[in-house]
A and B are shown apart, each in its own frame.
Chain A
Amino acid sequence: MGASEAKKKVPIKEGLFKVHTDEEEGYLIGSRCKKCGEYFHPKRVVCANCYSEDMDEVALSTRGKIFTYTIARTSYPGTPLTAPFITAHVELPEKVSVISLITDIDLDKVKVGMEVELYFWKAREDGEGNEVMAYAFRPVSN
């Protein structure tokens, strides 16, 4: 044990996303209503469209488009982000809007409609040395 015990990747908040592993790609966790087909993120118990409680947990698309954004010029104390940074509503093909950090682009280059893809990054380490993971989107590379 000891040094051989692998550091785990743990999400900063449970139930929102599945961090990638060697075997599997990561994704944002959503709900899909079995009755009307509406998608949600974060998960919902009651469908906001038709009020059904018959919901499936699903993996959401990992690519989307910036619906709108702003550049935060101040950071909240005790949060992992340091201003300035881009924060956006990303619209996924399932017609779900996700609030996310946008990285890997100059602040003055970000635009509404830009195609972006999901990835995960280490926000901090917890007391046991686990990597506490958050998600972000960045411009599609290809």
Chain B
Amino acid sequence: MAEKEVVILGVGITRFGRVTGRNPVEMAREAGLMALKDAGVDFRDIQAGFCAHVNQPMGTGADCFAELGMTGIPVTNVEVACASQSRGVMLAGDMIAAGIYDMALVIGVEKMPRGMVPLGGELSDMSYAFLMGLMPFPGTYAMTAQRHMHTYGTKPEHFGRAAEKSHRNSRLNPNATYQQVYTLEEIMSSRMIADPITMYMCSANADGATATVVCSREKAKKYTTRPVLLVGWAGGTPIYEKGEPMLAEGPTELLGKKVYEMSGLGPKDVDVAQVHDAFSPGEIFAIEELGFCPKGEGGPFVWGGNTEINGKIPVNTDGGLVSCGHPIGATGGRMIAELSWQLRGMAGPRQVSGNPKVALLHNQGLGGTNVMIFKM
């Protein structure tokens, strides 16, 4: 099948964080209008809508889209935990590639519950680990980090360095929750949450919304001469491996290979990346699995400054989840927005030099993993 080429035509984002008085529908409208204006399109051009969220009530998608216009288009809610919004963009990409639609809008929106995130479900339905409280939320990242330290000699300071870089980058990003630089020492001595993860290595709970206009390349010609192409995308869930504890939230390495093959690009071609760092060790795991450095060398690679904005492969240039905060269903759209701005040379003080041409996204959570690759 001759597939149509897919373009990210416009992006939008609200300020992330706990801003009192904002409700989900208003945040969705703000991000949606920004994406439509960035794309230069009218809501009447949108043929399908996707709304990503995790903690909002049923019907949220229709309510959010109604704020932008009521043209009768189908709006579908998408839930893949922390990877929801980027999955919405992938679904829109699938449909546009197949020629079903020319243009779709994907909104991600989240107003996070206050206090400890409730686990949900009847007690009798909960796994033993949740029933006992054996898996505090950074538990999986912490256990993967401990295993990484045991196997490769990675140091807690390596994880701290990734967080220090993220907090420094977020000072250049007015949409980030954290607007403060923390020294490595402050990060290492902040409250221990689950060894080796300290408080400043954790993403903050945040409210926020993001939006992405996805379009066919043919249609995009009307609006731009410099389109950001979505040239590879793949989503997945964990794969059973004989005798291995299920630590991974998805087959990142496999998905990376798929998108490299689909796009004809490789890790060496990538100029800028956004990877999922709900907790800062995540940056080190992801860059290894995506092939930016050899297995086990992620710690020293980050320590050596290779993932800085001016490094060999800039990662999480906007501060990542750690500093931007994590409105679960909206996070993927923040990653797409940052990569779109980087490719278009619109990232301001965070701009990667040398006109980046290829950008990679890795967004994952309890619901699965997405890897996407964009090209200017």
Taking beta carbons and an 8 Å cutoff, which residues of A are in contact with B?
12-13, 16, 38, 42, 48-49, 67-81, 83, 87-89, 91, 95-97, 99-101, 112-113, 123, 134
Q: Which of B98-142 contact A (CB under 8 A)?
A: 116, 119, 124, 128-129, 131-136, 138-139, 142
Most buried by B among A87, A97, A123: A87
Indicate whether A99 sits within 8 Å of B128 (C-beta atoms), given known contacts A68-B143, A112-B147. Answer: yes
Q: How far is the CA of A67 from the CA of B243 in the complex (A)?
A: 11
Taking a contact as CB atoms closer than 8 A, the residue among B116, B139, B146, B191 that contacts A72 in the complex is: B139
Q: Is the CB of A67 within 8 A of B194?
A: no
Task: Please give me the 10 A-B residue pairs with the lowest Cβ-Cβ distance, nearest first.
Answer: A79-B133, A95-B243, A97-B245, A70-B142, A76-B133, A68-B147, A48-B240, A112-B150, A89-B245, A71-B195
Indicate whether A12 sits within 8 Å of B132 (C-beta atoms), given known contacts A77-B116, A95-B243. Answer: yes
Q: Does B222 contact A (CB under 8 A)?
A: no
Taking a contact as CB atoms closer than 8 A, the residue among A48, A69, A95 that contacts B143 in the complex is: A69
Distance in angstroms from B191 CB to nearest chain A CB is: 7
A99: chain B residues at CB < 8 Å are: 128-129, 134-135
B135: chain A residues at CB < 8 Å are: 87, 99
Q: How far is the CA of A78 from the CA of B143 in the complex (A)?
A: 23
Taking beta carbons and an 8 Å cutoff, which residues of B are in contact with A?
116, 119, 124, 128-129, 131-136, 138-139, 142-147, 150, 191-195, 197, 240, 242-247
Q: How far is the CA of A77 from the CA of B119 in the complex (A)?
A: 11
User: Can you name 5 extra interface pairs (CB under 8 A) apart from A12-B128, A70-B146, A73-B192?
Assistant: A13-B131, A16-B128, A79-B133, A97-B244, A134-B132
Distance in angstroms from A99 CB to nearest chain B CB is: 5
B243: chain A residues at CB < 8 Å are: 91, 95-97
Q: Is the CB of B136 within 8 A of A76?
A: yes
Q: Is the CB of B242 within 8 A of A38?
A: yes
Q: Is the CB of A42 within 8 A of B128?
A: yes
- Residue on B with the closest CB to A111? B150
A96: chain B residues at CB < 8 Å are: 243
Distance in angstroms from A111 CB to nearest chain B CB is: 8
Q: How far is the CA of A52 from the CA of B288 in the complex (A)?
A: 34
Most buried by A among B128, B139, B197, B246: B128
Q: Is the CB of B193 within 8 A of A100?
A: no
- Residue on B with the closest CB to A68? B147
Most buried by B among A12, A76, A78, A113: A76
A73: chain B residues at CB < 8 Å are: 136, 191-195
A12: chain B residues at CB < 8 Å are: 128, 131-132
Q: How far is the CA of A80 from the CA of B150 in the complex (A)?
A: 29
Q: Is the CB of B195 within 8 A of A97?
A: no
Q: How far is the CA of A91 from the CA of B145 in the complex (A)?
A: 17
B240: chain A residues at CB < 8 Å are: 48-49
A49: chain B residues at CB < 8 Å are: 240, 242
Q: How far is the CA of A101 from the CA of B138 in the complex (A)?
A: 16
Distance in angstroms from A52 CB to nearest chain B CB is: 13
Identify 13 residue pairs between A and B in the complex whose beta-carbon atoms are under 8 Å apart, listed by A's number: A68-B143, A68-B147, A68-B150, A70-B195, A71-B192, A71-B195, A72-B133, A73-B136, A80-B133, A89-B247, A96-B243, A97-B246, A99-B135
- Residue on B with the closest CB to A96? B243
Distance in angstroms from B114 CB to nearest chain A CB is: 14
Q: Is the CB of A67 within 8 A of B131?
A: no
B138: chain A residues at CB < 8 Å are: 70
A75: chain B residues at CB < 8 Å are: 133, 136
Taking a contact as CB atoms closer than 8 A, the residue among B119, B129, B147 that contacts A67 in the complex is: B147
A79: chain B residues at CB < 8 Å are: 131-133
B131: chain A residues at CB < 8 Å are: 12-13, 79
Q: How far is the CA of A67 from the CA of B132 in the complex (A)?
A: 20
Taking a contact as CB atoms closer than 8 A, the residue among A72, A80, A112 that contacts B136 in the complex is: A72
Q: Is the CB of A69 within 8 A of B136?
A: no
B136: chain A residues at CB < 8 Å are: 72-76, 83, 87
